[in-house]
A and B are shown apart, each in its own frame.
Chain A
Amino acid sequence: MRALVIDDSRAMRRIVSGTLENLGFEVNQAGDGREGLDVLADGWVPDLVTVDWNMPVMDGLQFVSAVRANPAYRAMTIMMVTSESEHTQIVRALAAGAHEYVIKPFTADALRDKLALLGLLPQEAAL
């Protein structure tokens, strides 16, 4: 399975990518929403996108809206991974079309639990 990790912090990109690679994902990275859209436009369409909220150029919410407006990306699962943790913010992200929401700070186990909920892990790996 493929995953695109979008975060303006490269430390955070490395952490999220490392966890996903350990779970068997082939991972690509982008530093903001616009770069993320460019990766998709190049034809590299992943099963999962993890996306930060606050980023320069194009933020995560704008990215989610742009992806949801394109029927070609309908099969993609989107998970926000952000320190934005107010109730209203989570509601906004889900309303825009994100499937899941992970609040920073998170552990590798938390990421794995969410992927299991989304059916993006084989059952054995979920436990």
Chain B
Amino acid sequence: MTLTATSFDWVRALVHKESAIVLQPGKEYLVEARLLPIARQLGMPDVSQFVESVRTRPDPDKTRQIVEALTTNETSWFRDGDPFTALTSTVMPALLAARGPNERLQIWSAACSSGQEPYTIAMLLEDSLPNAATRVAITATDLSREMVERTKAGRFSQLEVNRGLPAPMLVRHFTRAGTEWEVSPTLRRMVSASECNLAAPLPRLGPFDVVYLRNVLIYFDLPTKQAILRRVRDLMRPDGWLFLGAAETTLGVDDSWERVVIGRSSAYRPLKGA
């Protein structure tokens, strides 16, 4: 069965709301092609049934999968590079000054997808700190087991490394592995990946000095957003730093955070006593 008009319109509206990307009429084939692997994985016979099941029984996890499958920008390395610039310009110097020389800094990439974000962080630190591998540990988590496995493998296709990864960083940190590119063992040792559902009680992680929680909150309703922010805050050091997606904020959601402007991006820090 091909995609019904109702299903297509619902997907269009969803993608527009979450990403501001407009799917023109006539792009039904694109929706079919991108969502078919997800439908199959869930044991659904076709895309229409999959979309109908999510439309009638809202599910943030599946909603996120749909939006991500249709917004290819999600997998770009330095997409919206400002939160990474802020890490090396402001956050790391402040943390290194505040911590003892033998304290290991803990960074959390809380929706790591196929690994671009944690390895971007690892590359930046490896290039700017003389002893990054012993000074910093990066925890990468994702809801999807497949994404966690991909992050652990640290292998990326040609098309993936073409997406916003600076060529000097590609040649410095990756080697060819057949048709793919593999991150260096040093970077892989800095990153440990595991499954984690942010919408449920969190495992004992951290405490974290820096958390990247980008493009996650947009998929949840207000009470869930509040619960996630509270749980994340519980896993952070009191002087830690939280980065959200460019279209996300704690303002009007949870008032126990202080917004700090760093260059062209913003970070959020736990308010004392809140």
Contacts and interface: CB of A to CB of B under 8 A. Distances in A.
B168 interface: yes
Interface of A: 85-87, 90-91, 93-94, 98, 100-103, 105-107, 109-110, 113-114, 116-117, 123, 127
Contacts of A87: 171, 174-176
Nearest to A92: B171
B37 interface: no
Contacts of B176: 86-87
B114 to A, nearest CB: 16
A85 B158 contact: yes
B159 A114 contact: no
Contact of A117 (B81, B158, B171): B81
A113 B76 contact: yes
A85 B163 CA distance: 15
A107 B73 CA distance: 11
B247 to A, nearest CB: 10
A117 B163 contact: no
A114 B164 contact: yes
B77 to A, nearest CB: 8
Contacts of B164: 110, 113-114, 116-117
B80 A127 contact: yes
A101 B167 contact: yes
Given A109-B73, A109-B163, A110-B159, 4 more contacts: A100-B166, A106-B159, A113-B164, A116-B78
Nearest to B78: A117
B170 A109 contact: no
B55 interface: no
Contact of A94 (B78, B159, B171, B175): B171
10 contacts: A85-B158, A90-B167, A90-B170, A94-B167, A100-B166, A103-B161, A109-B72, A113-B76, A117-B78, A123-B264
Given A87-B171, A87-B176, A103 B78 contact: no
A4 B79 CA distance: 25
